[in-house]
Amino acid sequence: MCGICGALDLTGRTPVAFERVQAMADTMVHRGPDDQGVYVSPDRRLGFGFRRLSIVDLVGGRQPMSNEDGSVWVVYNGEVYNHGELRRELEGRGHRYRTRSDTESILHAYEEWGERCVERLRGMFAFAIYDGRTGAGDLRAAAAVAALGSAPRLFLARDRIGIKPLYYLANAQTFLFASEIKGILAWPGMEREVDEEALHHYLTLSATPAPLTMMRGIRKLPPGHTLTVHGDGRLELQQYWEPLFPDDPPVDAREEPRIIERLRELLRESIRLRMMSDVPFGVFLSGGVDSSLNVALMSELMDRPVDTFSVAIEGDPLSDERSHARAVAAHFGASHHEVLIRRRDFVDFLPKMVRHQDEPLADPVCVPLYFVSRLARECGTIVIQVGEGADELFAGYPGYSILADFHRRLYGPFSQLPPWIKRPIAGLAPYMLPARRAEYVRRAAAGQELFWGGAAVFSDETKRRLLRDGGDGRPDTYRRVVAAIYAHFDAQCPGRPFLDRMIYLELRHRLPELLLMRVDKMSMAASVEARVPYLDHELVRFALSIPSTLKVHRGRTKYILKQAARGILPDEVIDRAKRGFCGGAANMVAGPLLDYAEEAVLGCDWLRSLFNMEAVRPLLAGQRAGGGDGAMAVWNLLNLALWHRRWIEEEPAVA
């Protein structure tokens, strides 16, 4: 796991300086405290920077890395779990290895298969390859160059699901990329301006949708995409994978035993692959099904106790699942560790949090994630397996089941009524129903989808009330993002159940751009690598083929995964009611944190210029009075205010 960065001179007149690339890499020391490296090409057209967290081949895996003749260079962040298998195949095709690292397999795979090499990789990755070959004297190179076009070029890739981030900026002179936005901002002359479209989408979705970021001009590579930067400055974005498989034969729900057997096989394989490491590894354990299954299946493969790590907030019983985690750890003979976050420590961490986020990620879970990652690092554990993705793939959230049933019984039929019936009802709804239900009536009357994502906060209608300009001229988040994702799914997979459509929406936005980014940013802030076995792309593909009736079955959420866990986990773990990690936003946004949020939001001049504070105050007052639906709204605005202060107003030196 690493931090990577680089610069490509697009004109031949702005040579890349070693010191500038070094400064980019130095902003990401936390991502790679063990080693560093910088390469600048002899013609100074290219510079690669690298910070290393040593996981595999501690001695030989240094980067930037080149092929034998120095014509192809790579910087890479992530883990390719099938690199041994690739090595055997590539050695059989004549490639010669100098290290044991997975980095070298990516390099040789690119030499052999060109840009299609990404299709052969199994794991999490973000990498950049500089190809300066002309083809002279090497038939394989000549064939690859002929297929790709004129050299030199820069080739970037992000893994299928979006586990690892990759940001870039292109102007008339230079192309820049980095694992974190702060790496790009370290380049001289970078202006810091808010991207207004990204801001508008963030308010609704709690994270900016790819390819946008909150910083104008800086983009992020979408999951499952590659980007080729040609020598003349042309950018070519291509999608190589997405979570849609309309041609796969359907899985018959009546074959439940076979589905369970296959699911167990894939889970065991995924966890085994993610135990690839030359340094200590462990598990974040809450005591729920997902993390407990990680512990159980890892313990089958280990001849020593699994190291487990848990976190809770002091004085907050809703956040405290330590007794459940202890019980699971004891059952499997794990070596268990815990940390308790004081409320003051929670608040004091927030400025550091927004520095590591780079752009707002409106989820307070970022805080406990950092503290439990720091605990793992202090205990000498560098690699951690986490449970992200299981709830999205297998419908583990109670809200999924409730909304799917509501859509079937009421929302869908109401949506089909004539406008002359729907519109008057929608007009009366705000006076007769709670705010959330009134919003559902409005959506149905407007012909919109019920579900906008598991972290949706401010609807477009709400933003019109909150923003001073009423949202005039701002992009419609529903149409631009939510409806567009649904439309793509429906075109490829018509007639699928509403639950399948909800899951696809989550896989396209909330999972990669919020949940996985919070794990990446907070674990790497503590110099810890997080691996996500539930998001192995082979497991994802199988999970998406399982009928929705086996995900929510007779009102029971995550049914098929829980059935697969029976006999592996104690029944009391499987049947325990689901709780959010550290409880949820409602209990975290309370006490000293709520005081801090009120002061930060109401005192932010930038927010005051954008928002009608008379509409914002009731959100804060409502949360103080008893929670309800206001916690995520308060955190959304707090995260935004702190981010603007740190990255736009102060503009501190980041190196």
In percent, how much of the chain has pLDDT > 70? 94
Q: What average pLDDT score do residues 216-239 get? A: 94
Q: Which residue has the tokens 């109670």?
A: 398
| Per-residue model confidence as pLDDT tens digits over 513-536 | 999 999 999 999 999 999 999 999
Residue 362: alpha-carbon gap to chain centroid: 13
Sheet hosting strand 123-131, strand order edge to edge = 65-66, 72-80, 123-131, 153-158, 225-230, 235-239
- What's the token pair of residue 224? 């499952």
User: How many degrees, rounded to 5, is the angle at CA 554 between CA 549 and CA 556?
Assistant: 90
Instruction: Pick the range with the lowest mean pLDDT from 11-25, 130-144, 278-292, 313-327.
Output: 130-144
User: Cα–Cα distance between 542 and 260 in angstroms, integer?
Assistant: 11
Which of 502 and 101 is assigned the larger pLDDT?
502
Instruction: Pick the range with the lowest mean pLDDT from 59-63, 72-76, 148-152, 332-336.
Output: 148-152
| Per-residue model confidence as pLDDT tens digits over 230-278 | 878 889 999 999 999 888 887 888 899 999 999 999 999 999 999 877 6
Q: What average pLDDT score do residues 375-385 get? A: 94
Res 178 pLDDT > 80: yes
| Per-residue model confidence as pLDDT tens digits over 449-466 | 999 999 999 988 889 889
DSSP state for residue 29 in the 8-state scheme = G
Number of Cβ atoms within 10 Å of the Cβ of 76: 27
Q: In what helix (H) or strand (E) does residue 156 lie, and over which residues does it extend? A: strand 153-158
Question: What is the structure's pLDDT at 587?
Answer: 83
DSSP state for residue 3 in the 8-state scheme = E
Q: What average pLDDT score do residues 468-480 get? A: 84
Question: What is the structure's pLDDT at 655?
Answer: 29
Question: What is the structure's pLDDT at 384?
Answer: 94
Q: Which residue type is seen at 493?
A: C
User: Cα–Cα distance between 463 and 472 in angstroms, integer?
Assistant: 10
Q: Which residue type is seen at 436?
A: R
Q: What average pLDDT score do residues 553-567 get? A: 94
Residues 6+ apart with CB under 8 A from 603: none
Question: What is the structure's pLDDT at 617?
Answer: 92
Q: What does R_g of the chain's alpha carbons equal in angstroms?
A: 25
CA-nearest of 501, 512, 565 to 207 is 512
Q: Which residue has the tokens 């993390």?
A: 291
CA-nearest of 447, 552, 437, 436 to 500 is 552
CA-nearest of 578, 604, 596, 577 to 635 is 596
Question: What is the structure's pLDDT at 23?
Answer: 96
Q: What average pLDDT score do residues 143-158 get? A: 65
Which of 33-37, 260-264, 648-652 has the highest average model confidence (pLDDT)?
Answer: 260-264
User: Cα–Cα distance between 396 and 401 in angstroms, integer?
Assistant: 8
Question: What is the structure's pLDDT at 559?
Answer: 96
Q: What average pLDDT score do residues 638-646 get? A: 96
Instruction: Pick the range with the lowest mean pLDDT from 13-17, 57-61, 139-143, 325-329.
Output: 139-143
Res 583 pLDDT > 60: yes
Which of 314 and 143 is assigned the larger pLDDT?
314
User: How many degrees, rounded to 5, is the angle at CA 628 between CA 198 and CA 356?
Assistant: 40
Domains recognised in the chain with CATH numbers: 2-239 (3.60.20.10), 253-395+509-581 (3.40.50.620), 399-508 (no CATH), 589-655 (no CATH)
Angle at which helix 483-492 crosses helix 498-508, to 10 degrees, equals 120
The model's pTM is 0.94
Please, is 82 exposed, middle or buried when counting C-beta atoms within 10 Å of its C-beta (0-12, 13-18, 19+)? middle
User: Cα–Cα distance between 177 and 59 in angstroms, integer?
Assistant: 26
Question: Phi and psi dihedrals of 97, rounded to 5?
Answer: -95, 145
Number of Cβ atoms within 10 Å of the Cβ of 310: 27
Q: What average pLDDT score do residues 178-184 get? A: 97
User: Cα–Cα distance between 266 and 246 in angstroms, integer?
Assistant: 21
Mean pLDDT of the chain: 90
Q: What average pLDDT score do residues 526-547 get? A: 95
Question: What is the structure's pLDDT at 636?
Answer: 96
Res 138 pLDDT > 50: no
Q: In what helix (H) or strand (E) does residue 172 lie, and over which residues does it extend? A: none
Res 89 pLDDT > 70: yes
Question: What is the structure's pLDDT at 133?
Answer: 78
Contact between residue 509 and residue 35 where contact means Cβ atoms under 8 Å apart: no
- What's the token pair of residue 73? 């260079």
Q: What average pLDDT score do residues 128-147 get? A: 58
| Per-residue model confidence as pLDDT tens digits over 390-399 | 999 999 999 9
Residues 6+ apart with CB under 8 A from 248: 541, 545
First vs last C-alpha separation in the chain: 20
Question: What is the structure's pLDDT at 627?
Answer: 56
Biggest alpha carbon–alpha carbon distance for the chain = 78
Q: What average pLDDT score do residues 413-440 get? A: 90
Question: What is the structure's pLDDT at 58?
Answer: 57
Q: What average pLDDT score do residues 26-44 get? A: 91
Question: What is the structure's pLDDT at 571?
Answer: 95
DSSP assignment of 494-555? TT--HHHHHHHHHHHTHIIIIIHHHHHHHHHHTT-EEE-GGG-HHHHHHHHHS-GGGTSBTT
Res 284 pLDDT > 60: yes
User: Cα–Cα distance between 7 and 62 in angstroms, integer?
Assistant: 19
Per-residue 3-state assignment (H helix, E strand, C coil) for 601-637: HHCCHHHHHHECHHHHHHHHHHHHHHCCCHHHHHHHH
Question: What is the structure's pLDDT at 54?
Answer: 66
**Counting runs of H as helices and runs of E as strands, what totals does the chain give?**
31, 17
Number of Cβ atoms within 10 Å of the Cβ of 323: 10
CA-nearest of 258, 222, 245, 514 to 392 is 514
Question: What is the structure's pLDDT at 228?
Answer: 96
Q: What average pLDDT score do residues 42-71 get? A: 82
C-alpha to C-alpha distances, 129 to 71, 113, 114, nearest whole angstrom: 10, 13, 10
Contact between residue 243 and residue 508 where contact means Cβ atoms under 8 Å apart: yes
Residues 586/589/594/598 CA torsion (nearest 10 deg): -90
| Per-residue model confidence as pLDDT tens digits over 482-494 | 999 999 999 999 9
Question: What is the structure's pLDDT at 575?
Answer: 93
